[in-house]
């Protein structure tokens, strides 16, 4: 029986107003083109609540200009690999994409935000603040492409291990789709974060997923989570 729709993957383009925070959000820019990187730094330089850092490992958010755009069935290599077990807090990655970019591989690989390359500075600023808070941000064009990509396929994907998910794994999967951390899932289910990590690892294995986001995407495609 399908579980509730995942709210964390249905965020529309950011509408958050920029607001100053007590401590600036550290942002790293990753681009193979030095001119693009310089232009992005210049756009963020005037924001008092952002702090551009050189080392992505010290950033809360990474603005990523992908060197190439993956095919719909190809997982890209991220500039800073997130921890799939949720044991630590990785940087949120916001990818700048073209209209023709397939968004699903980027989300499945762990990207938390997708912005059109021509997004203005206000939208870029708002996306950084939103993803730093744990939200998923989708600009209008990528969001439309995702709705199309998640339309029911003509033939369902094979489900080798999926029918063997335990009731507890179903519970964890539903909360995973809502974007909850291991600690928050544990509090919701009355179990320890360590036990949640065990269930997450089992889900990644059974769904043959590299990341938590990819696990949710595969679960939707295979009918374990409803999408509306």
User: Can you name the residues that pair with 27 across neighbouring β-strands?
Assistant: 52, 61
Q: What does the alpha-carbon distance between residue 118 and residue 6 come to, in Å, rounded to a whole number?
A: 28
**Does the 7-149 domain belong in CATH 3.40.50.2300?**
yes
Question: What is the band of 199 on the pLDDT scale with cuts at 50, 70, 90?
Answer: very high
Question: What is the band of 99 on the pLDDT scale with cuts at 50, 70, 90?
Answer: low
At residue 196, the 3 state secondary structure works out as: helix
User: Can you name the residues that pair with 113 across neighbouring β-strands?
Assistant: 94, 137
Task: Dump pLDDT digits (tens) for 38-48.
Answer: 989 988 988 89
Strand order in the sheet with 50-53: 50-53, 25-31, 61-65, 92-97, 113-116, 137-138
Q: What is the pLDDT of residue 79?
A: 64
Task: Dump pLDDT digits (tens) for 4-35.
Answer: 444 444 443 344 444 444 589 999 999 888 88
Q: What is the pLDDT of residue 96?
A: 86
Show me where the domains of the chain are located: 7-149, 162-221
User: Is residue 209 within 8 Å of residue 203, measured between CB atoms?
Assistant: yes
> What is the CATH architecture assignment of 162-221?
Orthogonal Bundle (1.10)
């Amino acid at each position: 029986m399908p579980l509730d729709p995942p709210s964390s993957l249905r965020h529309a383009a950011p509408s958050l107003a920029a607001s100053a925070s007590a401590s600036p959000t550290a942002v790293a820019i990753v681009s193979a083109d030095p001119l693009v990187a310089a232009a992005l730094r210049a756009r963020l330089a005037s924001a008092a609540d952002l702090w551009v850092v050189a080392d992505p490992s010290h950033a809360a958010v990474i603005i990523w200009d992908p060197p190439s755009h993956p095919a719909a069935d190809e997982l890209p290599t991220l500039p800073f690999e997130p921890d799939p077990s949720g044991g630590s807090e990785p940087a949120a990655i916001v990818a700048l994409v073209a209209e023709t970019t397939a968004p699903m591989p980027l989300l499945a690989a762990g990207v938390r935000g997708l912005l059109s390359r021509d997004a203005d500075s206000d939208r870029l600023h708002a996306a950084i603040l939103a993803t730093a808070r744990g939200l998923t941000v989708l600009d209008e064009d990528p969001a439309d492409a995702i709705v199309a990509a998640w339309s029911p396929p003509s033939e369902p994907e094979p489900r080798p291990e999926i029918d063997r998910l335990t009731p507890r794994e179903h519970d964890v999967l539903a909360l995973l789709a809502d974007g909850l951390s291991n600690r928050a899932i544990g509090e919701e289910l009355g179990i320890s974060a360590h036990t949640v990590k065990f269930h997450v690892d089992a889900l990644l294995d059974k769904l043959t997923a590299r990341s938590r986001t990819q696990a949710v995407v595969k679960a939707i495609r295979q009918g374990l989570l409803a999408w509306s």
